[in-house]
A and B are shown apart, each in its own frame.
Chain A
Amino acid sequence: MLPEKIREALREKRKMTADEYFQLPETNIHMELIAGELIVYDGQEGNMPAPKDLHQKISSRLFAFFLKYLDTDQLRHAPCDIKLDSGNIVQPDILWVNPQNDQCVLMDDGYLHGAPDFVVEILSPSNTRRDKIDKFYLYEQYGVHEYWIVNPEEQYIEVYIRKENTLHYQGGYKMGQTFVSHILNGATVDLSTLLG
């Protein structure tokens, strides 16, 4: 059950700062603050839907796959707050921070501040626009190096990699195809094993 303070903020559609967001009562529900707007994914009262089983299954598979290539201690799955600036806190489905990275650091408040190196967002029908526009823009602006947008229903992955100041579209890949991931040290990724 969502704490009353959070329900109140949603009812009043009140814009908030990152500081106010962090003072909200603790909850395990997936939430984000985008341009000062609180977004709660619990499927209640006109909120965004909670993740479906397909979403979570793909999330588990991806996470298990990444463990083969990436340092476990630096890998996180949602919900994990990432503060990007005073109006934006995101909870990517999966993220990884390069230990050498100094743009994403764990601060005294116990949260990660700054963009991770690698972000994966798994689409739900209702969040396509947010992942492809609002969060895309934030990840691009704050320096994410590789961004995967995974569509579990349509079974394909869009991969974006950083080139200078922008996230460049590496390509869209469907079942039966493979691609090479820069962030996974050039590993070949087989779509069928991840999304099949």
Chain B
Amino acid sequence: MLPEKIREVLREKRKLTVEEYLQLPETNSHTELIDGVLYVYDGQEGNMARPTVLHQRISMSITLFVARFLHNPGLYNAPIDLILGDNVVQPDILWISPDNTTCHEVNGRLYGAPNFVVEILSPSTHRKDKGAKFDLYDEHGVYEYWIVDPQEQFMEIYTRHENVLHRQGGYEVGKTFTSRILNNTPVDVSALLG
């Protein structure tokens, strides 16, 4: 059950600062703060939908796959607060390399861009993942960004070149692509989304 304080903010559609967001009571529901607006993904009372089984299954297969290549600790699953400027996002999967200088842990929260972010789309989050959150990851220096569409079974890969995220390509089930963040390992989309 969502704490009353959070429900109150939603009801009043009150804009929050990062400090106010971090003072909200603890919850396991997926929440984000984008441009001061609080989003709660619990499927209640006009809020965003909760993650589905499909969403969570794909999240798990991607996590297990990338964990073979990425140094742990440093790999996290949602919900974990990531503070980027005046925004707080909870990427589905993120990774911070051992030599990362932009992302720091302070009081149990992450501040600044991780190296790698994966967002798994729900029908209701398309716009955010390709809009506001893309801009944040681009501006703050994420190095590789995967946007996964579980329904349509494809993924788009963005990698950083000369300080901006460039579209490396879109790949569907049956295709293979090379991931820079995974040391140029070929990634078989069928193994992740099939």
Contacts and interface: CB of A to CB of B under 8 A. Distances in A.
B165 A133 contact: no
Contact of B152 (A129, A136, A158, A160): A129
Interface string A155-175: 110101000001111011110
A172 B167 contact: no
Contacts of A160: 167
A151 interface: yes
Interface in B118-175: 123, 126-127, 130-131, 134-135, 149, 152-154, 156, 158, 164-167, 169-172
A133 B156 CA distance: 9
Interface string A96-138: 0000000000000000000000000000000011001100110
Given A128-B152, A129-B172, A132-B154, A167 B127 contact: no
Contacts of A128: 149, 152
Contacts of B126: 151, 154, 156
Interface residues of B, number: 21
Nearest to B133: A172
Contact of B127 (A129, A154, A168): A154
Given A128-B149, A129-B172, A160-B167, A171 B154 contact: no
B127 A133 contact: no
A166 B166 contact: yes
Contact of B154 (A129, A154, A168): A129
B19 to A, nearest CB: 26
Interface residues of A, number: 20
Given A151-B127, A169-B134, A174-B131, A129 B153 contact: yes
B139 to A, nearest CB: 11
Interface of B: 123, 126-127, 130-131, 134-135, 149, 152-154, 156, 158, 164-167, 169-172
Given A129-B153, A155-B127, A171-B134, 7 more contacts: A129-B172, A154-B123, A156-B131, A166-B166, A168-B166, A169-B165, A174-B131
